[in-house]
Structure 1
Amino acid sequence: MIRLAQARDLDRVDALYRALLDREESVRYTNWQKDLYPTLAHAKAAFEQGTLHVGEEDGALFGCVILNQIQPPEYASIHWNFQAAPEEVMVIHTLCIHPNFAGRGKGKEFVHFCEEHARAKSWPVIRLDTYEGNFPACRLYEGLGYFYAGETQFHFQNVIWETLKCFDKQVGSKGESRLS
């Protein structure tokens, strides 16, 4: 079940972040850094804003995501496939699946949840970005009907530069048709 996070989930979200970052030491798909991003402070901020969602199965936290309408400034340089006003766009941030649940369809389950959340909020367009080397995430999003919109340089936490690939998808009827 995927639901809005509760205060009691925060330590488990932090543990998920740490488990994922530990795995990243041997298999690097993200450019995330321990004690830099994602952290408990990021989870707490999202919780306080009511934008942190968690997935739980048999008492274990299998994933989390932040859903809001905050588009990074770098998004302005992307030629999005679906044009929409800022208030019509939902952005997927920091979608994480615990390594113990990897390869079990939990990422797909979360993306479907994100799409239903966007529809429920009447946000017809979803946007997201992922590190250029995150091949599993790129395959996941493309396989679920997201369109590659381009890539741009992001200054990750104002520490290092990275290239992120951007994707979008129309999930409602308000966004303009896909551009050619």
Structure 2
Amino acid sequence: MSVYIRKGLMSDADELEKLYDDLNDYSAENINYCGFKKGIYPTRIDAVKGIEENNLYVAIKGDVIVGSFILRHKSEEAYNSACWKKDLTYDKVLVIYTFVVHPNYSNQGIGSKLLDFAEELAKEQGVESLRLDVYSINLPAIHVYEKNNFEYIDTVDLGLEEYGLKWFKLYEKLIY
């Protein structure tokens, strides 16, 4: 069964909330690589905001949302301290936020499909760089990003220490 990706719709909010909750429950019972916290991030509010801003995308397998991310021309403040491969204004950069794959669908290439989609979308929009941050211990996600030719740039503090999340790695993929 193939996976296709489309923009998120308001009718997806319930299913996205469940995906986030399932991922957070799984992380609480296993190793919480992503550092997400149920009820804090990501939540239904994050999904609804992404849908309202028209920048949330969902990966669908069969009739189930199995993954999602948000693309914005905006970064976290800590990105400004990094020495990126190319000095660009954010109209030429897309930042990947809230990158998730349902734990029941991990290791099926869905993360790579989402990243490929982001790259194609960036090309269509004339964007020159994809950027993201990842919690420093999130080895599964780091593996996916590096496998998809994202390059490590720096490690920064995003100001989330109150949640026990101090260091985040920044990655970038230049689009040619």
Shift of 1:160: 4.5
Counterparts of 1:24-173 in structure 2 under 5 Å?
A: 24-25=27-28, 26-156=30-160, 159-172=163-176
Partner-residue secondary structure (3-state), 2:96? strand
Counterpart CA distance in 1 for 2:107 and 2:95 is 24
Q: Is the 8 A contact 2:68 2:100 kept in 1?
A: yes
Counterpart CA distance in 1 for 2:36 and 2:138 is 11
Partner-residue secondary structure (3-state), 1:9? helix
Partner-residue secondary structure (3-state), 1:47? helix
Identity %: 28
Superimposed CA distance per residue, residues 3-45 of structure 1 (whole angstroms, 9 cap, x where no aligned partner): 0011111100000000100111112111111100000001101
Deviates more, 1:10-19 or 1:82-91: 82-91
Match of residue 176 from structure 1: none
Counterpart CA distance in 1 for 2:149 and 2:36 is 25
Deviates more, 1:77-86 or 1:154-163: 154-163
Counterpart CA distance in 2 for 1:142 and 1:83 is 21
Partner-residue secondary structure (3-state), 1:163? strand
Q: Is the 8 A contact 1:36 1:157 kept in 2?
A: no
Q: Which amino acid aligns with 1:6?
A: L
Partner-residue secondary structure (3-state), 2:52? helix
Gaps of 5+ in 1: 173-180
Deviating above 4 A after TM superposition, structure 1's stretches of 4 or more consecutive aligned residues are 157-161
Match of residue 5 from structure 2: 2
Q: Which amino acid aligns with 1:73?
A: E
- What is the alpha-carbon root mean square deviation over aligned residues? 1.3
How many matched pairs? 172
Shift of 1:83: 2.1
Partner-residue secondary structure (3-state), 1:154? strand
Counterpart CA distance in 2 for 1:99 and 1:45 is 23
Q: Is the 8 A contact 2:112 2:144 kept in 1?
A: yes
